[in-house]
């Protein structure tokens, strides 16, 4: 799935906090990926289709340095990543084995990957930061992935930070972490997200002007009428 430039531009103006609110109203509560924190403060909001990768617990006969040369390896998976995708990696929340380091992240940059998101950690953190690949993760650790994980494949449904992620679902990441938009809900978020942002900006302005919260947030009928009038 490719996102149109218009869709990317729209979602780039909608915070992950707003997206969770819009999806909550639609009945989707579990869309924020736990443990996905920006590796570098101030990373810009990014939008892209998910390219999924999955690890399982380490097994001694499979999680070896030799596995890095296997046809089923993170190295091979990176070569399959399309430009503009966001790599979303199920690392099972393991925090003592870095799934990707500076060399792999550098190759992702060369392939035009938009970002890396994982509920695990990275290694070679200074080098990773030096690649300028935007990363959302749960920290960093020195040991390699095979110290605690076995890589098993890509392009299939995964769980990342407790959220079910299917290939080509839409991911938005900012300072609050990473949020998933199911493909079937994309049009809804594109329609409702900007309006939610406009409404909340208007409410913030009212608060800054001294308005009390009861009847303002959430809006009562009179406040809704004033807000509607402000848009004319």
Q: Are 120 and 53 in contact (CB under 8 A)?
A: no
The reply, when asked if residue 203 is annotated as ligand binding, is no
Ligand-binding annotation for 102, yes or no, is: yes
101 belongs to an annotated ligand binding site: yes
* Burial of 151 from C-beta contacts in 10 A (0-12 / 13-18 / 19+): buried
Q: Is 103 annotated as a binding residue?
A: yes
The C-alpha atoms of residue 186 and residue 123 are separated, in whole angstroms, by 33
- Residue 137 is classified by DSSP as E
**29 among annotated binding-site residues:** no
- The dihedral region occupied by 168, where left means phi > 0, alpha psi between -120 and 50, and beta the remainder, is left
- Residue 138 annotated as binding? no
CA dist 137 → 100, 115, 125, 173, 180 (Å): 11, 11, 11, 11, 15
- Binding-site members for substrate are 101-104, 123
- Binding-site members for Mg(2+) are 124
- Binding-site members are 101-104, 123-124
């Amino acid at each position: 799935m490719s996102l149109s430039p218009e869709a990317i531009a729209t979602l780039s103006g909608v915070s992950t906090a707003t997206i969770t609110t819009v999806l909550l109203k639609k009945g989707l509560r579990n869309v924020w990926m736990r443990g996905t924190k920006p590796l570098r403060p101030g990373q810009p909001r990014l939008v892209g289709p998910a390219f999924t990768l999955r690890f399982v617990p380490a097994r001694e006969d499979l999680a070896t340095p030799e596995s890095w040369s296997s046809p089923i390896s993170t190295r091979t998976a990176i070569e399959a990543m399309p430009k503009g995708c966001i790599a979303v990696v199920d690392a099972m929340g393991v925090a003592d084995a870095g799934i990707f380091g500076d060399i792999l992240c550098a190759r992702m940059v060369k392939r035009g990957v938009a970002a890396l998101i994982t509920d695990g950690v990275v290694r070679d953190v200074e080098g990773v930061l030096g690649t300028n690949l935007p990363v959302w993760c749960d920290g960093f650790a020195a040991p390699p992935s095979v110290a605690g994980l076995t890589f098993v494949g890509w392009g299939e449904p995964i769980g990342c930070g407790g959220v079910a992620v299917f290939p080509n679902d839409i991911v938005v990441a900012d300072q609050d972490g990473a949020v998933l938009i199911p493909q079937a809900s994309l049009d809804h978020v594109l329609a409702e997200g900007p309006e939610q942002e406009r409404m909340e900006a208007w409410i913030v302005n009212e608060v800054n002007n001294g308005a009390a919260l009861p009847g303002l947030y959430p809006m009562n009928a009179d406040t809704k009428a004033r807000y509607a009038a402000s848009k004319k």
